[in-house]
C-alpha cells in the first residue's frame, strides 16, 4: 500500500488489520516465502478492544526532560489548567538517581493528570538560577500555574503522596463515581479504555439474491451493486482477509446518492421508489459492518453518502411517508457506522466543520423513531443508535480524566464529548419514549442505557441535569418497575443515577 495512504488517518486505522492479514497469510502459507515461521504468531486482535489496549499501552506518559528554562516554561504553561511537579536533579547526585525509577513509575501512573518534569541543573543553569536551586534533589509542585510545595531531599513517600494529591485536585472525582452504577461506572475507571462497551452493530447478512430482486434487474445488475454484493458475500464466507473493498468505491457512492435523491434533481439522478429503497440501504448496512468500509465513508468529504441516506429518510419521516423497512434498516445502518472508531470521533467532534452535518440528521432520526409506537423493532434500533452515541460520548468524557500530559483538559473534553445542547435534546426525547414504552422490554433496556450514559458524570449544575430534574426523570423511570419488574436498570438509573445522582451537594 502506498506510504501516503498508510500515513493518512484511514491508513493508520487499517494498519492493525493489515498486520493481522499478513500474519494470517503466514499461517496459511507457511510464512511469506513458503517456510513455516518458527516464532509464535501474535494473537489476533478480537474486534477493536485489543488494538485499543495496545495503543493505550504505547501511549503511556513519561517524564518530561528539559534542558533549558524556555523548555520548562513551555511545559508549565501547558499544565496551567492542571498540575505539575518539577524534579531538579544533577549528574553528580546519587540520591537523585535513586528516585529516578519511582519518578518514572509515577509518570506512567499519574502522568495523564499531572505533568512530571525533570530538570538537570548541572546542564540547565538558567533553570537552577531561576528557581534558586541550592541543592539536589529539590522538588517544586504547581497547581493551576501557581507554586505549591517546595522541598529538598530524597523523600520518596512525600513525592508519591504529593503527586497523588495533585492528581485528585486537578481532576476531582465526580459524585456519580461513589454510587452503585455497575452498568456505567466503568466509564470512569482507570481501565476505561480497555473496558469500553462495544457498540451495537447489525452485521447479519440477509439472503442477497432475494434482497437484490427487490431492486429489479436494471438496478441489481449495475457494476457498483454487483461489486458491493461480491464484497459482502466474500466477507461473510471467508472474513475480511479475503474480502478486499470494492475497487470503485466512488461509483458505489454515486449510486447510493442517486438512489436516495428524494427530489430527483441533479445530473445523473436516478432515485429508487421509496418502497424498494430499503434494499439498497440494507446492502449499505451490511458493508458498513466492516470497519474498513465504514472507515472509508468516515473520511468522505462532508459525509455525502451517509448524510444523503439520512436526509432522505428523515424527509420521508417528516411527512409520515417513511416505510417501516426503510426506517429500520437506516437505523441499523447508522449503528454500523460505529464499526470504525473514526465515525465516533467525527460524530462527537465540536471542531470538525462537517460534524454538525452528520450529527444533526442522526439525532433527528433517533428522536423521530422513538415515536413509532407501532413497531417495537424500530424503537429497539433507535435505542441502539442512542446507546452507541451516548456511550462514545461518556468515554470521551472519561478520557478527560486521562488527557495527554500537558494537554489542555477543557480543549480535550470539548472535542471528545457530545455538545450539551445535543445531550439535552436526546435526553428529552428518550425520556418521553421511556414514559410511553409499555410493550418492549428490549427497547426499554436500550433506552435506559442510552439515558444513563448521557446522564452519567454530567455536571450537576449543567443544562442536562437541570432538564432531568424539571422533567422528573427519576419518577418517569421508576414508574416502569410495575410493567417491567425484571429490568434491573429501572432501579439503577431511576433511584441511583437520577435520584441520588442528581442531588446537588
Grid coordinates belonging to 246: 470494492
**Over residues 384-406, mean pLDDT:** 71
Report the sign of the C-alpha dihedral through residues 383, 387, 390, 393, in that order.
negative
**Over residues 402-411, mean pLDDT:** 42
Q: Which domains does the chain have, with CATH numbers?
A: 3-44 (no CATH), 64-172 (3.40.30.10), 208-502 (1.25.10.10)
pLDDT in tens, 222-251: 999 999 999 999 999 988 888 999 999 999
Lowest mean pLDDT among 19-28, 98-107, 167-176, 179-188: 19-28
Distance CA 341, CA 13 (A): 8
**Over residues 446-468, mean pLDDT:** 95
Q: Work out the pLDDT band at 196, boundaries 50, 70, 90.
A: confident
**Over residues 156-162, mean pLDDT:** 96
In this structure, the strands spanning 138-143 and 114-120 are unpaired
Distance CA 132, CA 158 (A): 21
Query: Directed axis angle between helix 441-455 and helix 420-436, to 10°?
Result: 150
Query: Directed axis angle between helix 277-288 and helix 223-238, to 10°?
Result: 40
Give the mean pLDDT of the chain: 84
Lowest mean pLDDT among 264-268, 365-369, 458-462: 264-268
Cis peptide before 102 (omega within 30 of 0): no
**Opening angle at CA 284, ends 283 and 290, nearest 5:** 105
Does pLDDT of 198 surpass 60? Answer: yes
- CA proximity to 141, closest of 76, 64, 96: 76
**Over residues 368-377, mean pLDDT:** 96
In this structure, the strands spanning 83-89 and 114-120 are parallel
Does pLDDT of 294 surpass 50? Answer: yes
Grid coordinates belonging to 404: 495527554
As a whole-number percent, the residues of the chain with pLDDT over 90 amount to 67
pLDDT in tens, 116-142: 999 999 999 999 999 999 999 999 999
Instruction: Answer with the residue of higher pLDDT: 46 or 418.
Output: 418
Predicted local distance difference test score (pLDDT) of residue 399: 47
Helices (H), 319-440: 324-336, 341-348, 355-369, 376-398, 409-416, 420-436
Grid coordinates belonging to 189: 475507571
Question: What are the φ/ψ torsions at residue 163 (nearest 5 degrees)?
Answer: -65, -45
Lowest mean pLDDT among 49-63, 115-129, 266-280, 463-477: 49-63
Predicted local distance difference test score (pLDDT) of residue 90: 94
Predicted local distance difference test score (pLDDT) of residue 269: 59
Distance CA 446, CA 377 (A): 12
Does pLDDT of 2 surpass 70? Answer: no
Q: DSSP 3-state assignment of 417? A: coil
Unique residue bearing C-alpha cell 439472503 = 207
**Over residues 169-185, mean pLDDT:** 85
Q: Which residues, other chains included, contact 47 with Cβ-Cβ below 8 Å and sequence gap of 6+?
A: 198
Given a contact cutoff of 8 angstroms between Cβ atoms, the answer to whether 183 and 449 are in contact is yes
Predicted local distance difference test score (pLDDT) of residue 257: 95
Distance CA 417, CA 297 (A): 21
Whole-Å CA distances, 352 to 173, 199, 311, 487: 30, 22, 20, 39
Unique residue bearing C-alpha cell 449510486 = 255
- CA proximity to 426, closest of 376, 374, 392, 387: 387
Predicted local distance difference test score (pLDDT) of residue 168: 87
How would you label 138-148 residue by residue, b for 16+ Cβ within 10 Å and e otherwise? Answer: bbbbbbeeeeb
Instruction: Answer with the residue of higher pLDDT: 403 or 392.
Output: 392
Distance CA 17, CA 355 (A): 26
Does pLDDT of 192 surpass 90? Answer: no
- CA proximity to 171, closest of 79, 57, 53: 79
Question: What are the φ/ψ torsions at residue 149 (nearest 5 degrees)?
Answer: -90, 155
Does pLDDT of 71 surpass 90? Answer: yes
Given a contact cutoff of 8 angstroms between Cβ atoms, the answer to whether 12 and 295 are in contact is no
Does pLDDT of 199 surpass 90? Answer: yes
Half-sphere exposure of 305 (CA within 13 A, CB side): 23
Instruction: Answer with the residue of higher pLDDT: 358 or 12.
Output: 358
Predicted local distance difference test score (pLDDT) of residue 195: 62
Grid coordinates belonging to 114: 499531572
Lowest mean pLDDT among 194-198, 273-277, 369-373: 194-198
Q: Work out the pLDDT band at 432, boundaries 50, 70, 90.
A: very high
Eight-state DSSP code of residue 67:
S
Q: Which residues, other chains included, contact 153 with Cβ-Cβ below 8 Å and sequence gap of 6+?
A: 95, 137
Q: DSSP 3-state assignment of 290? A: coil
Grid coordinates belonging to 186: 466503568
Q: DSSP 3-state assignment of 204? A: coil
Does pLDDT of 40 surpass 50? Answer: no
Neighbour tally for 49: CB within 10 Å: 14
As a whole-number percent, the residues of the chain with pLDDT over 70 amount to 80
Predicted local distance difference test score (pLDDT) of residue 414: 43
Predicted local distance difference test score (pLDDT) of residue 191: 40
Predicted local distance difference test score (pLDDT) of residue 171: 83
Lowest mean pLDDT among 47-56, 73-82, 240-249, 354-363: 47-56
Q: Mark residue 63 as left, alpha or beta (left: phi above 0; alpha: psi -120 to 50; beta: remaining).
A: beta
Predicted local distance difference test score (pLDDT) of residue 209: 96
Given a contact cutoff of 8 angstroms between Cβ atoms, the answer to whether 336 and 294 are in contact is yes
Tell me the three-class secondary structure of 23-56, residue by residue: HHHHHHHCCCCCCCCCCCCCCCCCCCHHHHHHHH
Amino acid at each position: 500500500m502506498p506510504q501516503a495512504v498508510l500515513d493518512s488517518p484511514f491508513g493508520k486505522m487499517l494498519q492493525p488489520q493489515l498486520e493481522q492479514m499478513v500474519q494470517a497469510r503466514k499461517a496459511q502459507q507457511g510464512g511469506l516465502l513458503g517456510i513455516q515461521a518458527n516464532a509464535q504468531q501474535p494473537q489476533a486482535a478480537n474486534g477493536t478492544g485489543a488494538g485499543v489496549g495496545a495503543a493505550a499501552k504505547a501511549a503511556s506518559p513519561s517524564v518530561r526532560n528539559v534542558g533549558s528554562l524556555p523548555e520548562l516554561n513551555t511545559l508549565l504553561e501547558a499544565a496551567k489548567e492542571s498540575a505539575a511537579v518539577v524534579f531538579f536533579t544533577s549528574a553528580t547526585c546519587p540520591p537523585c538517581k535513586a528516585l529516578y525509577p519511582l519518578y518514572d513509575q509515577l509518570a506512567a501512573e499519574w502522568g495523564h493528570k499531572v505533568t512530571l518534569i525533570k530538570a538537570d541543573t548541572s546542564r540547565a543553569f538558567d533553570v537552577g538560577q531561576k528557581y534558586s536551586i541550592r541543592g539536589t534533589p529539590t522538588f517544586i509542585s504547581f497547581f493551576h500555574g501557581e507554586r505549591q510545595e517546595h522541598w529538598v531531599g530524597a523523600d520518596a513517600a512525600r513525592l508519591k503522596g504529593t503527586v497523588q494529591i495533585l492528581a485528585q485536585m486537578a481532576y476531582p472525582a465526580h459524585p456519580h463515581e461513589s454510587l452503585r452504577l455497575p452498568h456505567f461506572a466503568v466509564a470512569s475507571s482507570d481501565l476505561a479504555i480497555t473496558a469500553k462497551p462495544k457498540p451495537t452493530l447489525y452485521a447479519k447478512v440477509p439472503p442477497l439474491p432475494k434482497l437484490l430482486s427487490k431492486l429489479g434487474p436494471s438496478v441489481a445488475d449495475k457494476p457498483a451493486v454487483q461489486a458491493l454484493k461480491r464484497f459482502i458475500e466474500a466477507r461473510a464466507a471467508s472474513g475480511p482477509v479475503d474480502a478486499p473493498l470494492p475497487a470503485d468505491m466512488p461509483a458505489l457512492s454515486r449510486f447510493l446518492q442517486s438512489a436516495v435523491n428524494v427530489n430527483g434533481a441533479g445530473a445523473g439522478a436516478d432515485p429508487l421508489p421509496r418502497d424498494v429503497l430499503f434494499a439498497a440501504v440494507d446492502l449499505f448496512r451490511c458493508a458498513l459492518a466492516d470497519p474498513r468500509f465504514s472507515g472509508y465513508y468516515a473520511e468522505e468529504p462532508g459525509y455525502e453518502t451517509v448524510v444523503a441516506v439520512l436526509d432522505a429518510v428523515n424527509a420521508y419521516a417528516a411527512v409520515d411517508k417513511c416505510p417501516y423497512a426503510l426506517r429500520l434498516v437506516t437505523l441499523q445502518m447508522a449503528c454500523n457506522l460505529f464499526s470504525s472508531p473514526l465515525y465516533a470521533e467525527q460524530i462527537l467532534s465540536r471542531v470538525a466543520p462537517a460534524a454538525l452535518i452528520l450529527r444533526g440528521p442522526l439525532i433527528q432520526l433517533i428522536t423521530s423513531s422513538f415515536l413509532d409506537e407501532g413497531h417495537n423493532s424500530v424503537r429497539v434500533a433507535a435505542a441502539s443508535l442512542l446507546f452507541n452515541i451516548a456511550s462514545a460520548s461518556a468515554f470521551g468524557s472519561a478520557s478527560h480524566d486521562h488527557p495527554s500530559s500537558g494537554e489542555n483538559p477543557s480543549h480535550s473534553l470539548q472535542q471528545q464529548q457530545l455538545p450539551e445542547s445535543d445531550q439535552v435534546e436526546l435526553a428529552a426525547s428518550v425520556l418521553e419514549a421511556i414514559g410511553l414504552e409499555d410493550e418492549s422490554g428490549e427497547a426499554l433496556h436500550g433506552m435506559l442505557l442510552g439515558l444513563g450514559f448521557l446522564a452519567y458524570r454530567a455536571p450537576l449544575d449543567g443544562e442536562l441535569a437541570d432538564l432531568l430534574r424539571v422533567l422528573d426523570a427519576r419518577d418517569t423511570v421508576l414508574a416502569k418497575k410495575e410493567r417491567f419488574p425484571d429490568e434491573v436498570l429501572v432501579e439503577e438509573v431511576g433511584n441511583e443515577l437520577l435520584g441520588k445522582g442528581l442531588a446537588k451537594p
